[in-house]
Amino acid sequence: MEPSDAVQLFDAPLSELASKADSARRCGVGNTLEICAIVNARSGRCTEDCAFCAQSVHHDTGVDAYPLMNADAIVEAARRAGEDGSERFGIVTSGRCLEDGEVGEVAEAAETIQEELEMGVCASLGGLSAGQFATLRDAGVTRYNHNIETAPGHFEDIVSTHSFQQRIETVECAAEAGLSVCCGGILGMGETRLQRCEMAAALSEVPVDSVPVNVLLPVAGTALEDTEPPPAAEVLKTIAIWRLMMPEKNIKLAAGREEVLGDFQGMAFMAGANGFIMGDYLTQPGRSAERDRELAEEVQHAWRN
């Protein structure tokens, strides 16, 4: 579906869009609900100037800054996530990339998580080399996250220290190393509806298996601190349209779902979504594990009936 055609779907009633998207979800990915958790394994001091990011050195946000956690601490975080109900665990670091020794530390943690906890292991460590991706793959990492953040035509309004093409190249390099790729973006950063559809089209053109949908949570001190998040209905319509544009990809709710969707979170799973990140995010708190387990049970019950 071309973005120019997809954008016209925003004019349809939400109920109509949701029904079509739910059918596309059942046909494309079935009733598989993917639940994952992440740990901010290295925080702050990032040299990139992403307008939304609390961890950038270009912004004065007061965020905690600390070096890379050691392998034991990462494994312990994964253990807690597994006990809470997460099936996959993502190791995330701030910054443009990691040194080889740091990648080795992450690989050590990944190997233990995969072997002892039997959890799927994801990583999001910036723009790595082919050799570093191979190290992660051999240690048991099966998926790599590297979001494109926004539409190609909007990217320069959000980031100036690296290009959209560089992000695409990292995605392709991870896939070439044999890793599944998780790649999505953020809604509500001043993009138009057409640009949201262009973002989905860009995701359709690269080897991406899982698409996280974040909604901007404006952080004081960042360049987007005064940006108003989109209303819940707008986010739900976007999810439905993305499902129609990407019927066979996992589409999961990520940061911002609690604040923006509120009591309408369940509706997202009747409008095309089939996964979510549970627990805390990088610098923002999430909901309790108990509430997210209840959400998962409600979604699966609704799908069965």
Domain extent listing, the chain = 31-224+249-261+274-293
Gap between the Cα atoms of 240 and 272, Å rounded: 5
Helix (H) or strand (E) holding 40: strand 34-42
Contact 228, 10 (CB under 8 A): no
| In the predicted structure, residue 180 carries a pLDDT above the cut 90 | yes
DSSP tag of 43: B
Q: What is the per-residue pLDDT for 283?
A: 83
Burial 23-45 (b: 16+ CB within 10 A, else e): ebbeebbeeebbbbbbbbbbbbe
Question: Residue 92: phi, psi to the nearest 5?
Answer: -120, 140
Q: Kindly tell me the burial class for residue 182, based on how many C-beta atoms sit within 10 Å of its own C-beta (0-12, 13-18, 19 or more).
A: buried
Gap between the Cα atoms of 110 and 56, Å rounded: 26
pTM of the model: 0.95
Helix (H) or strand (E) holding 152: none
Determine the distance from the C-alpha atom of residue 63 to the mean position of all C-alpha atoms in its chain, rounded to a whole number: 20
Q: Of 4, 85, 53, 20, which is closest to residue 220 (Cα–Cα)? A: 53
CATH of 31-224+249-261+274-293, one of 3.90.1300.10, 3.40.50.1980, 3.40.50.720, 3.20.20.70: 3.20.20.70
Measured in residues, the chain has a length of: 305
Contact 220, 179 (CB under 8 A): no
Residue range 157-186: mean pLDDT, rounded: 97
Q: What is the per-residue pLDDT for 305?
A: 84
Q: What is the per-residue pLDDT for 282?
A: 85
Q: What is the per-residue pLDDT for 281?
A: 87
Q: What is the per-residue pLDDT for 280?
A: 85
Residue range 252-280: mean pLDDT, rounded: 95
| In the predicted structure, residue 234 carries a pLDDT above the cut 90 | yes
Residue 255's pLDDT band (cuts 50, 70, 90)? very high
